[in-house]
Structure 1
Amino acid sequence: MRIFVTGATGFVGFAIVQELLGAGHKVLGLARSDAGAALLKAAGVEVHHGSVEDLDSLRSGASASDGVIHTAFNHDFSKYKEACELDRCAIEALGAGLAGSDHPLIVTSAMGILPKGLLGTEETAPVSGAHAHPRAATEEAVDVVAARGVNVSVVRLPPSVHGDGDHGFVPILIGIARQKGACAYLGDGTNRWPAVHRLDAAHLYRLVLEKGSAGARYHAVAEEGIPLRDIASAIGRRLNVPIVSKARDEAAQHFTWFADFAALDVPASSTRTQELLGWRPRQPGLIADLEHGRYFET
């Protein structure tokens, strides 16, 4: 199949591109810059110039393909709500490009939209109403597109998608620990982050493309819930800085804008995903990756 991948040059997206190519698929990759286009061309990918802000480019890329995997997202957390609303528009544009076909659209969502403190499953609905997470806009858009007859499904990613080249939540914690001279967690540190290696996640996207069902939610979860205290301890040991607990009223001072993410407690299961698709995570876990990866190179 010829698959249109948004976010094709990103940490997760490029791993998906390589997974698809290795399985014999052709890839049309969205690129917003000359550097991104060169990276994709070197990998053997056909380039589609555009961006998630250019809705016409999304529609045309989708309509020219046999399926779409949407991983692009603007991770400027100073404009997080705007980024989530942009994702809503992007999903609706991709759906419009696939209208009238049965070609699959696979949308990336996030575990953070699920109820806190409970083991989330693929059937767990996002929190709605006044307490809804801004990223819930993603799955709201999925429901709108599905109601229009598009063959759309969702892959929910955990707070930590790890591996070489990671520039997400764990590197942010490492940066804060370096800056503050201590690695912190909140309270007793038992709030949990699920995790997955980027290569395991990429393999799941391909399985969803080839074997998934319209309307389904899938969980890219290899580890259901790692206590933040364990993550902080691994970071503290590698940086040789104190590992400390911070009270809730100290969180904003230590973590600044990242405080809400540091407090996330969203354990999640992938049991149903594994049963339905035969997905089996095989890469190292997060703590092992922290011990042996390149997270602490400067």
Structure 2
Amino acid sequence: MRVFVTGATGWIGSATVDDLLQAGHDVTGLARSDSSAAQLEAKGAAVLRGDLDDLDSIRKGADASEGVIHLANKHDWANPANSAAAERAAVEAIGEVLAGSDRPFVVASGVAGLASGRPATEDDVSPFVGPDSARGGSENRAFDFVDQGVRAIAARFAPTVHGMGDHGFVAHIVAMAREHGVSGYPGDGANRWAAVHRSDAASLVRLGLESAPAGARLHATAEEGISTKAIAEAIGAGLGLPVTSIDPDDADAHFGFLGRFIGMNGATTSDKTRALLGWQPTGPTLLEDIAAGAYFEV
């Protein structure tokens, strides 16, 4: 299959490109810089220059493809509305190009905020609707194109997609532990985060592209939930720091931008995804990666 990938040199995207190429697909990646283009070419992927705001290039890539994987995100924490608007516009541009073709369109989404008081499941409809919602409501916007002949699929990633070289949430928590001299967790630390290894997330995206039906919600969660206390204890052990509870009122001061998220309960199941795709995660667990030193190189 000729596959167009946005975010092709990002944390999840680069692993997805590797997985696609290994499976025999032809890949074109969107690249906004010379270094990104060089990374793709070195792997044997084709390059289309552009970025998330370059809708003409995105339309061109989608039009020439037999399937699209949209993983790009600005991650503009200072201006989330900017990220949301760009993501929604890209989804709309791709959906319009693919309309009437029955081609697959895998859209990156997340599991945060799907359920309260229980683990989220694939049956939970995203509550984020409209351009002013999280991620610009891109999951639901993509599903609008199902009735227009697009095999739209949501790949909902765990809040922690981990592995050697990860610079995401756990890396930030490690940085805050170093800064404050303690490895902290919010409140009693009982709230849980789902997690998935980067390689397993990549294989799920490919399997979804190849065979998931229109409207499928796929959960890239290998572990249903690891408590924030257990994560803090693993970080403390790795850094040789004491482990302590952080009052929720002090979460912003200790965890920075993650303060508003770290106390959330993000436990999520993936039973239906595994049954649908035959997906079986094989990568190390989050705590195994922390213990192996994935987050401690400076």
TM-score range, shorter chain: over 0.9
Is the contact made by 2:129 and 2:137 (CA closer than 8 Å) also made in structure 1? no
The alpha-carbon deviation at position 136 of structure 1 amounts to 6.1
Distance 2:22 2:16 in 1: 10
CA deviation vs aligned residue, 1:119-168 (integer Å, no higher than 9, x gap): 111111223589x9623612232233334332111110011000112111
1:44 partnered with 2:57: no
Given that 1:5 and 1:68 are in contact with CA atoms closer than 8 Å, whether structure 2 keeps it comes out as yes
Tell me how far 1:256 sits from its aligned partner: 2.4
The 5-angstrom pairing of residues 1-298 of structure 1 reads 1-127=1-127, 134-135=134-135, 137-298=137-298
Q: Provide structure 1 residue ranges, at least 5 long, that are not aligned to the other structure.
A: none
Assess if the C-alpha contact under 8 Å between 1:192 and 1:227 holds in 2.
Answer: yes
Q: Note the C-alpha offset of 1:284.
A: 0.6
- Tell me if the contact between 2:182 and 2:241 (Cα under 8 Å) persists in the aligned partners: yes
Secondary structure at the counterpart of residue 69 of structure 2:
strand
Local SS of the residue matching 2:28:
strand
Q: From the superposition, tell whether residues 277 and 26 of structure 1 become closer, same or farther in structure 2 (CA, over 3 Å).
A: same
Deviations 1:192-244 (A, max 9, x none): 10000000111111111111101110001100011001001101111111211
* CA positional deviation for 1:100: 2.5
- Number of corresponding residues: 297
Deviations 1:96-137 (A, max 9, x none): 22123111000010111312332111111223589x962361
Q: Look up the equivalent residue of 1:12 and give its one-letter code.
A: I
Work out the CA distance in 2 between the residues paired with 1:267 and 1:129. 22
Contact in 2 for aligned 1:110/1:135 (Cα 8 Å)? no
Q: How many Å separate the matches in 1 of 2:219 and 2:209?
A: 14
Deviations 1:156-195 (A, max 9, x none): 0011000112111100101111111111111100111000
Give the TM-score normalised by the residue count of structure 1.
0.96
Sort the Cα spacing of 1:133 and 1:251 in 2 relative to 1 into closer, same or farther, 3 A. Answer: farther
CA shift digits 1:5-40 (9 cap, x unpaired): 110001110101010100110000100001100110
Give the aligned residue type for 1:153: I
Question: Which shows bigger deviation, 258-267 or 227-236?
Answer: 258-267
Partner SS, residue 112 of structure 2: helix
Range that drifts further, 141-150 or 75-84: 141-150
Amino acid of the structure 2 residue aligned with 1:264? M
CA contact (8 A) 1:58 1:97 kept: no
Give the C-alpha shift of residue 251 in structure 1: 1.2
Q: Say if 1:146 and 1:215, in contact at 8 Å, map to a contact too.
A: yes
Long gaps (5+) in structure 2: none
Deviations 1:31-71 (A, max 9, x none): 00011001100110100111111111111100000000111
Q: Give the whole-Å Cα distance in 1 for the aligned partners of 2:116 and 2:257.
A: 19
Pick closer, same or farther for the CA change 1:121–1:262 going to 2, 3 Å: same
Q: Secondary structure at the match of 1:125?
A: coil
Runs (4+) of structure 1 exceeding 4 A deviation are none
Change (3 A) 1:86 1:117: farther
- Among all aligned residue pairs of Structure 1 and Structure 2, give the percentage whose two residues are the same amino acid: 47
Once residues 88 and 158 of structure 1 are traced to their aligned partners in structure 2, the CA distance between those partners, rounded to angstroms, is 20
Matched letter for residue 38 of structure 1: A
Whole-Å separation in 2 of the counterparts to 1:81 and 1:97: 25
CA contact (8 A) 2:218 2:273 kept: yes
Separation in 2, partners of 1:38, 1:198:
22
